Structure 1
């Protein structure tokens, strides 16, 4: 079984709803952080973000088994939110806990 780092990028105002949906779908710990996205891809930006040239987003990371990725993406798809969510999954080559 392959561990996957699954990251969802959502509008800051949608963070809590997306995180709550994920908490109901997995026992994996969720790591939340606020991000400011700079760039030229403003397809997901509201008018104020387009004017500023920066998007306020939240990133939610979790490590799950590969077969859990699709069901968790389906959960986020069904969560009530106001903005699009982008996501990606990457295999975890190594991990551990340092005490």
Structure 2
């Protein structure tokens, strides 16, 4: 089976809601990080973010089997969050653990 790196990008205020929804659905480790996004796509921006020209976002990464991607995207879509969430997935060609 193909492992996929699945990343969700959400408003910083929605990070815990999205992470909790994912944790209820999968046992895969979640990697959370805060991000500042610069750009011209302000369709998801709050008023203050539009003024500053920078979006505060959280990224949530997890590695799952390909068959789980659509289930987890649906889980985030159904979560009680306040703002849009963007996502993407990429095939993982190799991975491991170094002790």
TM-score bucket of the superposed structures, by smaller chain: over 0.9
For residue 72 of structure 1, give the secondary structure of its aligned residue in structure 2.
Answer: helix
Deviation at 1:2, TM superposition (A): 0.2
Q: Which runs of 4+ in 1 moved over 6 A?
A: none
Alignment match, 1:59: 59
Counterpart-to-counterpart distance in 2, 1:74 and 1:58: 19
1:39 is displaced (CA, Å) by 0.4
TM-score (structure 2 length as normaliser):
0.99
The alignment partner of 2:94 has SS state of coil
Aligned residues: 99
Aligned to 1:7: 7
Q: What does residue range 1-99 of structure 1 map to in structure 2 within 5 Å? A: 1-99=1-99
Distance in structure 2 (CA, Å) of the matches to 1:14 and 1:89: 20
Separation (CA, whole Å) in 2 of partners of 1:72 and 1:46: 25
Determine the C-alpha separation between the residues in 1 that align with 2:15 and 2:65: 23
TM-score scaled to structure 1, two decimals? 0.99
In structure 1, the gaps of 5 or more residues are none
**Counterpart secondary structure, 2:49:** helix
| CA displacement at 1:9 relative to structure 2 | 0.1
Unaligned 5+ runs, structure 2: none
